Amino acid sequence: MSFKRSSGILLHPTSFPGPYGVGDLGPQAYHFIDFLANSGCKLWQVLPLGPTGYGDSPYQCFSAFAGNPYLVSPEILIEQGLLTQADLADMPVWNPAQVDFGGLYHWKPGLLDKAYTRFESMPRGPIHAEFDAFRFDNASWLDDFALFMAIKDANGGIAWNQWPDPLRKRESVALADARQALSGNISRYMFYQFLFFRQWQALRDYVHGQGIQIIGDIPIFVAMDSADAWSHPDLFFLDEAGIPSVVAGVPPDYFSPTGQLWGNPLYDWARHKQTGFQWWIERIRATLSTVDIVRIDHFRGFAGYWEIPGGAATAEHGRWVPGPGADLFNAIRAALGELPIIAEDLGEITPDVVELRDAFGLPGMKILQFGFSGPDNPFLPHLYTSNCVTYTGTHDNDTSLGWYRTAPAQERDYYHRYVSRDNADVPGDMIRAIWGSVAVFALAPLQDFLRLGTEARMNFPGKVGGFWTWRMDERSLSENLKNYIREINWVYQR
């Protein structure tokens, strides 16, 4: 699929400002979209939008299809009569600079439950018909997800492979009993999803009205403790007890000397092929109903992936195993047409990864922070081709200012020689370097536009806890910043 030269900002909705403990899909989201449009940007990139669990990572969600109810805007619910101002009386005092996931866990579901109770008490109207249609249209994943979450609640939040055997094994009588006993909670979880997708679709319509496209994100793997693994155990390497025999990760690399042990269950690709890759087709279809372009995280895993024995303490001792390769993408293309996909082709890239990416014409990624080892480094702008997407850094990197402050002396030296600038404005100089390249898309995290340091870093790969919490200041989107971005978009014709 051919993309048009343009630029954008990487900013996850949880990072929006606002008074409710986490960024959401309310007025601040619309304000950001106005800012993007007025600055001449055509792209907004987000991280996965699913419901997060332990560790708060959007790359480890309870479902590959569901949305994150933390992102539901209380202000919009008040406007729609589903909440009142009085319902917010017990709201904690939040730190405006950080997401407090622990506090949200104890407060926001209760708030959404008040909206559900009010919805249930309303005379039947258009919103009820809309909810019924949502349930019908999304039954293929929603029924299992809501049941999964309700059973999880009833069992104190423990992982599904520790549930009583009949529920863990999805015995039909046990599931029927659970649906009956937990019907109220199941309906609540469906309603929370309805609220999320209703607000997201309204925002997406507004985004499109401003001439902007949304780049979404699909993690290649699903979380072990997810509705997907529980409801489709045959698609993964799981034993009779629901324990993964092998798990995902990457070998020792730039980020970690012992590799990264992600712990996700690995796909039984032979089984997926027998089904015509139906689960993957539905996953891509669902994602493309919420975003316009999809970045697939860890694309190299489709060519070959690092298989780690289940129960291993680190990712050091594993083996490379062939992935599904072109068979998967041929099936997706046959079902869905041309693929608006960006391949996250970072890490240990072998010829088969490049061959798979190029066979489908997918743009790969270039991270400028990785580029300053010397003039032949492929992450440097003078070596780009047009069919790539370039970033100063992503959610997994330090901010550009943070990178510079901790980079080895030889990298800093080459950086100065490359950009021919001092260190007065490292993030700005890096943004200009990629904006001026031939790459079809150029994007930078908002943190780099704001010239922020390591305190604003979103994530550190391989580390759990304390990340994903950064929030922007409500004064960040200034007139000066808008004019600056508009100028570089004009200068470099983005």
Residue 23: pLDDT above 70? yes
Does any domain span residue 268? yes
Specify the pTM.
Answer: 0.97
Instruction: Give the pair of three-digit tokens for residue 392.
Output: 């100063």
**pLDDT tens-digit map of 382-413:** 999 999 999 999 999 999 999 999 999 999 99
- pLDDT, residue 299, reads 96
- Asked if residue 482 belongs to a domain, the reply is yes
Phi, psi (degrees; rounded to nearest 5) at 265: -65, 145
Cα(341)–Cα(361) distance, integer angstroms: 9
Q: Which residues contact 365 (CB under 8 A, 6 or more apart)?
A: 295, 342, 343, 344, 345, 346, 388, 389, 390, 391, 394
- CA pair distance 62, 95, nearest whole angstrom: 26
Output the furthest CA–CA distance in the chain (Å, rounded).
70
Q: Residue 1's pLDDT is what? A: 66
Tokens at 361, concatenated: 């014409």
Query: Would 307 be classed as within a structural domain?
Result: yes
State how far the Cα of 44 lies from the Cα of 36, in Å rounded to an integer: 8
Q: Give me the half-sphere count of Cα atoms (radius 13 Å) on the Cβ side of residue 179.
A: 11
Cα gap 361→482, rounded to integer Å:
33
Task: Identify whether 432 is part of a domain.
Answer: yes
Structure tokens belonging to residue 75? 């202000």
377 C-beta neighbours (distance < 10 Å), count: 15
Rounded CA gap, 490 and 41, in Å? 10
163-185 residue pLDDT tens:
999 999 999 999 999 999 999 99
Q: Amino acid identity, residue 76?
A: I
pLDDT band at 257 (very low <50, low <70, confident <90, very high): confident
Fill in the amino acid letter for 393.
G
Question: Which pLDDT value is given to residue 468?
Answer: 97
**Nearest Cα residue to 44 out of 367, 218, 291, 389:** 291
Which of 63, 50, 461 has the alpha carbon at shortest distance from 223? 63
Give pLDDT tens digits for 463-477: 777 899 999 999 999
Asked, for residue 78, whether it belongs to a domain, the answer is no
CATH of the domain at 36: 3.20.20.80
Least Cα distance to 75 among 62, 66, 84 occurs for 84
- For residues 252 and 265, the answer to whether their CB atoms sit within 8 Å is no
Q: What is the pLDDT of residues 355-371, one digit of tens each?
A: 999 999 999 999 999 99
Q: Does residue 27 sit within a domain?
A: yes
How sure is the predictor about 197, in pLDDT bands with cuts at 50, 70 and 90?
very high
* Proportion of the chain above pLDDT 90, given as a percent: 94
- CA 471/CA 449 separation, integer angstroms: 14
Find the mean pLDDT for residues 227-243: 96
Local structure of 372: helix, strand or coil:
coil
pLDDT at 10: 98
Segment 19-44 shows an average pLDDT of 98
* Residue 252 confidence class, pLDDT cut points 50, 70, 90: confident
**Which string of DSSP letters, residue by residue, matches 408-443?**
-HHHHHHHHHHHT--STTHHHHHHHHHHTSS-SEEE
| DSSP 3-state of 10 | strand
Residue 102 lies in a domain: no
Q: What pLDDT was estimated at residue 347?
A: 82
Q: Which amino acid is at 63?
A: S
Average pLDDT over residues 328-340: 96
Token pair belonging to 178: 């659970």
What is residue 226's three-state secondary structure?
coil
SS3 320: strand
d(CA 94, CA 213): 32
Domain of residue 51 covers 6-66+213-491
DSSP 232-268: -GGGB-B-TTS-BSEEEEE-S-SS-TT-EEEEEEPB-
Q: What pLDDT, on a 0 to 100 scale, did the predictor assign at position 444?
A: 98
Backbone angles phi, psi at 380, to 5 degrees: -85, 140
Separation between Cα atoms, residue 162 and residue 168, nearest integer Å: 7
Is 317 part of a structural domain of the chain?
Answer: yes
Q: What are the φ and ψ backbone dihedral angles of 133, each rounded to 5 degrees?
A: -65, -40
Nearest to 69 by CA among 110, 108, 18, 116: 108
445: phi then psi, degrees, rounded to nearest 5: -60, 150
The mean predicted confidence, pLDDT, of the chain is: 96
Kindly tell me if the per-residue pLDDT of 106 is higher than 70. yes
Round the CA-based radius of gyration of the chain to a whole number and report it.
23
Residues 414-459 have pLDDT tens digits of 999 999 999 999 999 999 999 999 999 999 999 999 999 999 999 9
3-state SS assignment for residue 308: strand
Question: How many domains in the chain?
Answer: 1
Residue type, 467: F
| Cβ-contact 62, 55 below 8 angstroms | no
Task: Please tell me the distance from the alpha carbon of residue 347 to that of residue 254, in angstroms, as a whole number.
Answer: 8
User: What does the pLDDT read at residue 480?
Assistant: 98
> 135-149, 253-267, 318-332 — which is least confidently predicted?
253-267
Return the active site residues: 297, 344, 396
pLDDT digits (tens, 9 = 90+) for 372-384: 999 999 999 999 9
The pLDDT value given to residue 201: 98
The pLDDT score that the predictor gives to residue 464 is 77
- % the chain with pLDDT above 70: 99
